[in-house]
Amino acid sequence: MTDIADRDASSLSAALATGDLSCVEVMAAFLDRIGGRNPAINAIVSLRQREDLLNEAAAADAALALGQSKGWLHGIPIAVKDLVDTAGLRSTHGSPIFADHVPKKDDLLAARLRAAGAIFIGKTNTPEWGLGSHSYNPVHGVTRNPYDHTRSAGGSSGGAAAALAARLVPVADGSDMMGSLRNPAAFCNVYGMRPSYGRVPADADGETFLHQLSTDGPMARSVSDLARLLDTLAGHNPEHPHSLPKAEAFAPHLSAKIKGRKIAWLGDWSGAYPIEPGILPLCEEALRVFDDMGAEVEPVSAPFPADALWQSWTVLRSFAVSGSLRAHWDNPAQRELLKPEAIYEIERGQRLTAQEIQAASALRSQWFAAAARVFDRFDALVLPSAQVFPFPAEWTWPRAINNQAMDSYHRWMEVVVPASLVGLPALNVPAGFSPTGLPMGMQLIGRRGNDLRLLQLGQAYHEATNWPERRPPVFDGQ
């Protein structure tokens, strides 16, 4: 019999609905699992007291007995990314500035999870302010990869990805500005989806018109769970100008014909992206799965100059980060507590001129139009989800790839920029493992708004491969 904590969220939801499991049983199983495995990887932080969680689970059982289910996540343990404010639960953003911050109000994402019945058990670890694709910070420390505890779990949703892979949670939320859903999912052999920008709306706090680079999204060990969680998180926010209307539910429509779909393999973007040896062959082998299903996979040349994408990205990213963190930089006491990468982005953003920002946005507009023309020919574009395999956990970031120096803390993740820059949906699917057992993934990128077609490709791929069932061997016997 499958252990309770090894089941996915949909299976748990069905068992709770029929009474085959109780919410208390589910909560106890996950807390036991967390107690045995989390100390080695540090994926879940700010864990609530066991007694309080079991009492909340008992209340969820009582509600079910009265026929009062809140939704498909009723009674299911969830740990929310520590960039999300959660009422009554410490929310640090990985920063010593917020080390003791306990919000009084949920962010919109947290409110939607609670409304669906989830029980918040704690938070998942993230780098300070979500900057960088390695989850370490001075408040909670470093998150380690479940497949090799000496390696990074990626970031910024590294805690979420590691918790999923280690079976500490059945499903998780994440966010993605520069690969923060895709990179950790690839590093931890799970699924992570950056939806079309506006599909999962942000809170309407502060300036809401200018910055369109970051979005929340779902993570899971199955595409069906991924789609169900996206259905929960998505929906119109009338206070946010870029929020998309609520779409028809994705989860009921995952099964689809793949034969004849056209997929473009972009590889290393015509040599522009240095990629660690072994990654491209893994992705090419994974693409044969789509070949076997009758899809047409075609290698294509880069459709836009990589240096233009990078120029646009770095300007608009610094502009956005500087705007969101400037108040902390302006406070001398708080400035002393900012990580160097945050100071780099803030100070760079302050130096930008209006003309530089306009030029960067013009390049972004040109790429959006060029991408639209590519999608006239193809259903999906494919790139590796990362340019390196999981690297040593004591590093802050890789300084070089294939002897090519990285000139900034985020240059090693350049491969995620084509989707992020223009708000395209992108789905990481596991692609396999290195000879030393390190996971890797590839990103399926779709036309903006075509989230369902990506999920359908992902579902067919999952049914053919089911890579997440290759569990972390370091936890055997636990």
Which residues are known to be catalytic? Answer: 81, 156, 180
- Go through 221-231 and write b for each residue having 16 or more CB atoms within 10 A of its CB, e for each that does not: bbbbbbbbbbb
| Residues 17/69, Cβ–Cβ less than 8 Å | yes
Dig out the tokens for 239 from the structure: 């206070």
CA 232/CA 174 separation, integer angstroms:
13
- Go through 438-477 and write b for each residue having 16 or more CB atoms within 10 A of its CB, e for each that does not: bbbbbbbbbbbbbbbbbbbbbbbbbeebebbebbbebbee
CA 465/CA 462 separation, integer angstroms:
5
Dig out the tokens for 175 from the structure: 């966010």
CA 441/CA 188 separation, integer angstroms:
9
Distances in whole angstroms, Cα of residue 220 to Cα of each of 169, 217, 252, 432, 439: 9, 10, 17, 16, 15
- The dihedrals phi and psi of 52, each to the nearest 5 degrees, come to -65, -40
3-state secondary structure of 444: strand
